Amino acid sequence: MRILICISNVPDTTTKVKFSTDNTSFDDGGVQWIINPWDELALTRAMELKEDASNPVSNVTVVTVGSPAAEPTLRKALAIGADDAIRVDAVSTDAHFVASQLAAVAANGDFGVVLCGIESSDYNGSAVGGMISEIMGIPSVSAVSEFKFDGGEVVLSRDIDGGKEEVSVPAPFVAIVQKGIAKEPRIAAMRGIMMARKKPLQVVPAADAESFTAYQAFAMPEPKAPCKMVDADNVKELVNLLQNEAKVL
């Protein structure tokens, strides 16, 4: 079974977000790019499954939609252990456009499983995974927190209110994974980094697809109000401040 992992190339989580062109686009100057943390966990789990010889996983491919600037992130995924990588040569615009590209790649490659992170840490749209399955006409399971094989059959678990739910699903399918799918993201070993240079990274042209949405404007959250520290013993002062300054009492 071949596994396809959809990788989103996102800014490092400590990035100071800035916008340009009248707050309609993200300013990517000086940004450090990383693999979307949920996708990184999906990749980690796929590697674990592949390394256990009792599982029927033959190959792990990573794919992203992006410009050549996204290639270091794909190389990193190869360094972590993916066998090959595909970059759809297009600038991603919205979820539908990206999902269409990924579905085209998935349909083209005889993949048994398509793994997506539940959301990307930059735009947090949580839409691509579901759309891929819809476009391809195959099942999808969302919020998967466990992925294993039981006698060659896929068993997925989902966290639900107060318990767990086990789901079996025929391949091919899309699994949209959340935290818990792997314990910790795997880091690239030196050997992996060296091998990654030699692994195939294929660039494919974008398929025809529409963007359904367009960003009108971004706004930064209001800065946090300054904080006043009150000594734990000084309840009087606390009440006074809440009453007269914050006017909440």
Which residues make up the interface to another protein (CB under 8 A)? 12-16, 32, 34, 71-72, 75, 183-194, 197-198, 201
Measured from the CB atom, is 17 or 235 closer to another protein?
17
CB of 236 to another protein, least distance (A): 23
Q: Spell out the residues 6+ positions from residue 138 whose beta carbon is closer than 8 angstroms to its own.
A: 172, 173, 174
Phi, psi of 193 (to 5 degrees): -65, -40
Which tokens is 136 given? 């391809």
Measured from the CB atom, is 15 or 59 closer to another protein?
15
CB of 12 to another protein, least distance (A): 4
Which tokens is 202 given? 């294929």
Q: Spell out the residues 6+ positions from residue 86 whose beta carbon is closer than 8 angstroms to its own.
A: 61, 62, 63, 64, 105, 201, 202, 203, 204
Closest by Cα among 136, 132, 177 to 154: 177
CB of 5 to another protein, least distance (A): 18
CB of 38 to another protein, least distance (A): 15
Measured from the CB atom, is 197 or 228 closer to another protein?
197
CB of 194 to another protein, least distance (A): 6
Measured from the CB atom, is 202 or 243 closer to another protein?
202
Measured from the CB atom, is 107 or 195 closer to another protein?
195
* Chain mean position to CA 11: 12
Closest by Cα among 169, 9, 6 to 85: 6
